């Protein structure tokens, strides 16, 4: 599920997957009237025009806090989908501002099979990696920016 601003920029993403509930909590910097859009995409590309979705929306004039502890700004999970990959997989990485980014794919032997440089935008950045040339097996996706290095395992199945 994706939450978009009126200018179509992605504000938040929820990717629980499967039959689980999706949830997005969005607290804008300023409490102003605004228009938002929600896009629901089926898990692993699934779509059903028979089974319905229920969307619950709650609004408030104050920020949501679930505990008395100070709010911290944490990045969303680094999720790859669909898994296992057949022809490709996609991930969304979140950044504040513009950054240089490098994506590398390694096989189980540690050999670099793929490398891509990109410039991020503020918010969600979708990265699609083609896997048609990869054999079935376990691989690593490495995403490196100027501040951190993140690694996630993924599987290719033919």
CA–chain centroid gap for 74, Å, is: 14
Contact predicate 109/63, CB 8 Å: no
Question: What CATH number was assigned to the domain covering residues 80-156?
Answer: 2.60.40.2550
Of the given ranges (54-58, 64-68, 108-112), which has the lowest mean pLDDT?
64-68
> Residues of the chain with pLDDT > 90: what percent?
30
- pLDDT score for 71: 45
The pTM (predicted TM-score) of the whole model is 0.54
Contact predicate 148/124, CB 8 Å: no
Question: How is residue 125 written in tokens?
Answer: 């950045």
Closest by Cα among 17, 68, 8 to 41: 17
Q: Please list the residue range(s) of the chain that carry CATH number 2.60.40.2550.
A: 80-156
Average confidence (pLDDT) over 65-89: 69
> Residues of the chain with pLDDT > 70: what percent?
71
- pLDDT score for 96: 84
- For 83-138, how does the pLDDT look when each residue is reduced to its tens digit (9 = 90+)? 899 999 999 888 888 899 999 999 988 999 999 999 998 888 889 999 999 999 99
Which residue's structure tokens are 């699609």?
128
Closest by Cα among 91, 98, 70, 96 to 143: 91
Helices (H), the chain: none
């Amino acid at each position: 599920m994706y939450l978009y601003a009126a200018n179509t920029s992605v504000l938040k993403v929820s990717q629980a997957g499967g039959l689980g509930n999706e949830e997005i909590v969005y607290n804008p910097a300023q409490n102003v009237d605004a228009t938002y859009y929600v896009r629901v995409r089926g898990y692993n590309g699934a779509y059903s025009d028979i089974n319905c979705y229920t969307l619950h929306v709650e609004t408030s004039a104050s920020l949501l806090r679930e505990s008395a502890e100070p709010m911290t700004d944490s990045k969303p999970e680094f999720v790859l989908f669909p898994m296992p990959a057949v022809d490709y997989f996609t991930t969304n990485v979140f950044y504040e501002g513009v950054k240089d980014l490098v994506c590398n794919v390694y096989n189980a032997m540690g050999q670099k099979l793929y490398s891509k440089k990109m410039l991020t935008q503020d918010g969600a950045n979708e990265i699609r990696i083609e896997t048609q040339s990869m054999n079935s097996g376990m691989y690593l996706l490495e995403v490196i920016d100027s501040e951190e290095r993140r690694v996630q395992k993924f599987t290719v199945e033919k």
